[in-house]
Amino acid sequence: MAVTDVAGSRGIAFLVGATLMADMIAKACSSPQTVETNAGRRADTAMKWASIGLAEGAVFVVIAAFLEPKNAAAFISGGALEAVVTYYEYQHAKQTGLASPEEGTEQ
């Protein structure tokens, strides 16, 4: 059965906010795995770009919330939750990578 009417769905707005935040961060930088693997050389740069992705994602989530006030809370909560989770992933990757005795893949 095809979904034909999703207007006003807070669940979809929540997921759109979360996906948008993740996509903006992914577009801005590589991945937590790459940060962990190459933290010795790239930790600061990767974190800079993760922060830029967070800011960019936040702008888009706020615009979506402004354009569709009925679902503003869902857009913002989805984007905010994804921002917190993703930022923690990058912070954890940075700390773990810097503490690791393993050499990175980039020389």
- Tell me which residue of 101, 93, 103 sits closest to 46, measured CA to CA: 93
What pLDDT, in 10s, does the model give residues 28-55? 667 888 888 888 888 888 889 888 888 9
Instruction: Tell me the mean pLDDT in the region 10-35.
Output: 80
Instruction: Tell me the mean pLDDT in the region 69-90.
Output: 90
* pLDDT of 84: 93
Q: Is 45 left (phi over 0), alpha (psi -120 to 50) or beta?
A: alpha
Mean pLDDT of all residues belonging to the chain:
84
* pLDDT of 23: 83
Please give the Cα distance from 20 to 10 (Å, whole number): 15
- Report pTM: 0.76
What are the tokens at 23?
A: 């996509």
- Locate tokens 């893949």: which residue? 105
The dihedrals phi and psi of 68, each to the nearest 5 degrees, come to: -135, 75
- Locate tokens 């994804």: which residue? 82
* pLDDT of 102: 83
- Tell me which residue of 95, 34, 98, 29 sits closest to 57, measured CA to CA: 29
